[in-house]
């Protein structure tokens, strides 16, 4: 029997976290890890206490907005944002940590990751955001693809 590597282990957990997503278009999960300990988790969905897109529909779908564009026209927060916010809410430092995410971070999340002083990002599926990649590289973050069934079951892109 082969034992999972730490990256495989944390990516598997990230896939489970993504199953909590309430987004109709894409299920994304993120976890922040330091010294092989999970600090926080996050998945994409509406802010606390607000109605979920699964229940009321997707503004982006209704307006035909392509993936990776017009982030401000969405009720939801991204998984990476929720993981960072959860750390702040709980008073947990993420300085020097690794963020695992099912999808490559968008530019908004990349800027938050940089300012949170996270030093490494491990992602599963790609996401169409060249500026995000440029910023992460410029900031000197380690960014690594973790290939292998990372997109959650039923969580592959569901937008057309």
Annotated active-site positions, please? 80
| Backbone phi, psi, residue 33, to 5° | -125, 140
Helices (H), the chain: 6-18, 53-56, 59-63, 79-90, 107-115, 130-138
Could you tell me if 47 and 97 are in contact, meaning their C-beta atoms sit under 8 angstroms apart?
Answer: no
- Residues 121, 145, 116: CA angle, nearest 5 degrees: 10
Could you tell me if 44 and 21 are in contact, meaning their C-beta atoms sit under 8 angstroms apart?
Answer: yes
Pairing of strands 142-145, 120-125: parallel
Q: Shortest CA distance to 69 belongs to which of 130, 136, 150?
A: 130
């Amino acid at each position: 029997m082969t034992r999972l590597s730490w990256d495989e282990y944390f990516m598997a957990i990230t896939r489970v976290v993504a199953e909590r997503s309430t987004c109709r278009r894409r299920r994304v999960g993120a976890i922040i890890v330091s010294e092989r300990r999970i600090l926080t988790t996050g998945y994409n969905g509406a802010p606390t206490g607000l109605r979920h897109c699964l229940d009321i529909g997707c503004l982006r779908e209704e307006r035909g907005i392509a993936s990776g564009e017009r982030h401000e026209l969405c009720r939801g927060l991204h998984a990476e944002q929720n993981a960072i916010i959860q750390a702040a809410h709980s008073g947990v430092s993420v300085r020097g940590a690794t963020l695992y995410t099912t999808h490559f971070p968008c530019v908004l999340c990349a800027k938050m990751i940089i300012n949170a002083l996270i030093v490494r990002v491990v992602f599963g599926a790609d996401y169409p955001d060249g500026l995000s990649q440029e910023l992460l590289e410029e900031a000197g973050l380690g960014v690594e693809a973790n290939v292998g069934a990372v997109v959650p079951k039923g969580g592959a892109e569901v937008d057309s």
